[in-house]
Amino acid sequence: MRVERNTEAGRALGLVAAALISILSLILIFAGWSATLFSVFAQAVPSAKATNYYELKPGADRDGIDKYYMGRQIAHVMGHQAADWLERPTREQEEHTEEMIGLLNLKPGEDVADIGAGTGYISWRMAKKVAPGKVYAVEIQQEMLDLLGANMKERGITNIVQTLGTITDPKLPTNAIDLIIMVDVYHEFDHPYEMTEAMVRSLKVGGRLVFVEFRKEDPHVPIKEVHKMSEAQVKKEMSIFPLAHAQTFTNLPWQHVIVFTKNPSLRTNMRTGADLGPGPTVRPAGSPTPARVKIGNTSANSIPANPQPK
């Protein structure tokens, strides 16, 4: 009888132990799932600080999306289907690209990044200036990188690093880049806060963040309004980051070149932009006012033969 009771007690203890082990296992499994889910959720959802600057509402301009950032409607992204526009024969005449790159004062050995590199129109020109340094050509469309790669191979350019980024991260190395440039690109970012945060993180201390944007201050620039940016708006959007405005060049025909430097000691603050007056509108002497031609849903200059996607 005593043996049977001991056996039953042993079985009961074994069952209790097995139940405790099962419960503990479930707790550990749940904890692991919770950690994974939290990690995924944290990556998928923007920070509270970022969301404070966004507003979702119907877009006033049909060429923009239903999302605003610090009061500015975000423009639609130009797809790879319009890549030919980036290589249009009249681009140098319209934008003075060589002059713009000269303003950057690039030096051999510098590592730079071209965000929204497209077909590499800007990338290969910078690559010649910074060699043996590298140009990180960043795109979120693999089709664009394929076109860029073919163009670089044809030109014999070997110091280009093709980089497939995301809509929130250009995937650049940290504290490693001397200059980041965006040519007619920033206004299309649908996550400008996250992208700027990532770009600043990638810059070396003293590194430069450069915006080349069509001047919104100039009504004669024949580009869709939502694809233009004023100097005041760019300064407003950068004022919340550890960036110091260095200078603005306004001598290009249609664009201004707005340059910031990374300065971690700066205290960032939110400003309204009301105190940031636009730079002067400068048109090269003797240059005619470009005619505007409406072609479907585009506003095109009379010089190009094909409608502009912007």
Average pLDDT over residues 2-20: 50
- Give the helix/strand (H/E) hosting 177: strand 177-183
Q: What is the pTM of this model?
A: 0.73
CB 232 within 8 A of CB 273: yes
For residue 14, the model assigns a pLDDT of 53
Structure tokens at 252: 């290009």
User: Of residues 94 and 229, which shows the higher confidence score?
Assistant: 229
User: Of residues 210 and 33, which shows the higher confidence score?
Assistant: 210
For residue 102, the model assigns a pLDDT of 97
Q: What is the pLDDT of residues 243-263, one digit of tens each?
A: 999 999 999 999 999 999 999
For residue 309, the model assigns a pLDDT of 58
Measured CA to CA, the distance from residue 244 to residue 241 in angstroms comes to 9
For residue 266, the model assigns a pLDDT of 82
3-class DSSP assignment, residue 93: helix
For residue 57, the model assigns a pLDDT of 95
Measured CA to CA, the distance from residue 21 to residue 14 in angstroms comes to 10
Q: Is residue 26 predicted with pLDDT exceeding 50?
A: no
Spell out the domains of the chain, with CATH numbers in brackets.
50-301 (3.40.50.150)
- pLDDT, the chain, mean: 79
User: Of residues 14 and 127, which shows the higher confidence score?
Assistant: 127
Burial 114-140 (b: 16+ CB within 10 A, else e): bbbbbbbbbbbbbbebbeebbbbbbbb
Measured CA to CA, the distance from residue 223 to residue 214 in angstroms comes to 8
Burial class (CB in 10 A: 0-12, 13-18, 19+), 80: middle
For residue 87, the model assigns a pLDDT of 73
User: Of residues 30 and 85, which shows the higher confidence score?
Assistant: 85
| Structure confidence at residue 84 as a pLDDT band (50, 70, 90) | confident
Q: Comparing 99-103, 241-245, 260-264, 280-284, which segment has the lowest mean pLDDT? A: 280-284
DSSP state of 76: P
For residue 78, the model assigns a pLDDT of 75
For residue 12, the model assigns a pLDDT of 53
Q: Is residue 190 predicted with pLDDT exceeding 50?
A: yes
| Structure confidence at residue 51 as a pLDDT band (50, 70, 90) | low
Q: What is the pLDDT of residues 61-74, one digit of tens each?
A: 999 999 999 999 99
Q: Which residues are within 8 A (CB) of 41 and not within 5 positions of it... i.e. 6 or more apart? A: none
Question: Among residues 185, 278, 281, which one has the least CA distance to residue 232?
Answer: 278
Of 29-33, 66-70, 294-298, the range with the highest mean pLDDT is: 66-70
